[in-house]
């Protein structure tokens, strides 16, 4: 009986995983709210560090919580005054996709994307160094991976590395970058922070809404 009670208490302390298949009402298709948003959902296709479409991405759609979506709309409006805009690489990420990343990280024979995404690291280092994790803030629905683009041509501002390049060179404050890349990273970070997002110390493209509406819930509905 004691063990049963302990198990119940432990389960209640764990973050919840919401496994419904339908998109919750608290989420929005960001492109329908943010005019001119460039959407390049990397995990829907094979242009990502796994080299293949990722489980859970059934459509190249950027879904986020409504507060995060509304914040991005305000950012896009501010950037438009400077002929700039946002380009998203990943938004809400199903828990099943995160589980696939973990499985991929343990497959030591699959190295086809090493040269492009993690040339200076062994695949087994990605997990302990925090580039791959068992749970992702993306699954809570208020984390987004993005960059800046010039309008109207939608060309990316140089940031020193590409998206998902696993290296210290991708750390936002890494000093070993050209001055223009450092300035562009600072611009992206400053506008995101000004509108309520928190940066991530290891990835210049990664931001989480500070006042996220689902801080303890990891969703698993597919992106569709």
Residue 99 in any domain: the answer is yes
Domain count, the chain: 1
Q: Considering the domain boundaries, does residue 207 fall inside one?
A: yes
Query: Is there a domain that residue 4 lies in?
Result: no
123/120 Cα distance (integer angstroms) = 10
Q: Cβ distance 41 to 57 under 8 Å?
A: yes
CATH (domain of 163): 3.30.1380.10
Residue 9, in any domain of the structure: no
Does a structural domain hold residue 12?
Answer: no
Question: How many other C-beta atoms lie within 10 A of the C-beta of residue 169?
Answer: 14
Q: Is residue 21 part of a domain?
A: no
Q: Decide if pLDDT at 212 tops 50.
A: yes
Closest CA to 175 of 149, 147, 204, 148: 204
- Binding-site positions for Zn(2+) read 138, 145, 206
pLDDT tens for 52-109 read: 999 999 999 999 999 999 999 999 999 999 999 999 999 999 999 999 999 999 999 9
Domain membership of residue 185 (yes or no) is yes
**Over the stretch 140-154, which tens digit does the pLDDT of each residue have?**
999 999 999 999 899
Catalytic one among 55, 203, 212, 216?
203
Which residues sit in the known binding site?
Answer: 138, 145, 206
Burial of 204 (0-12, 13-18, 19+ CB in 10 A): buried
Residue ranges making up the domain that contains 136? 29-219
Strand 217-219 with 16-18, pairing: parallel
Q: Is 22 a catalytic residue?
A: no
């Amino acid at each position: 009986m004691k063990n049963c009670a302990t198990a119940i208490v432990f389960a209640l302390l764990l973050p919840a995983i919401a496994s419904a298949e339908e998109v919750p009402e608290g989420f929005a298709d960001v492109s329908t709210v943010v005019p001119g948003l460039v959407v390049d959902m990397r995990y829907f296709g094979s242009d990502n560090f796994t080299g293949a479409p990722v489980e859970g991405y059934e459509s190249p759609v950027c879904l986020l919580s409504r507060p995060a979506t509304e914040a991005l709309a305000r950012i896009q409006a501010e950037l438009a005054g400077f002929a700039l805009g946002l380009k998203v690489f990943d938004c809400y990420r199903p828990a099943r996709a995160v589980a696939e990343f973990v499985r991929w990280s343990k497959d030591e024979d699959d190295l086809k994307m090493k040269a492009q995404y993690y040339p200076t690291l062994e695949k087994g280092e990605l997990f302990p160094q925090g580039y791959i994790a068992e749970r992702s803030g993306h699954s809570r629905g208020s984390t987004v991976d993005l960059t800046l683009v010039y309008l109207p041509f939608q060309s990316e501002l140089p940031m020193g590395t590409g998206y998902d390049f696993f290296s210290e060179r991708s750390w936002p404050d890494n000093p070993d970058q050209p001055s223009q890349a450092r300035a562009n990273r600072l611009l992206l970070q400053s506008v995101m922070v000004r509108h309520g997002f928190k940066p991530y110390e290891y990835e210049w493209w990664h931001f989480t809404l500070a006042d996220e509406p689902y801080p303890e819930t990891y969703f698993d509905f597919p992106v569709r």
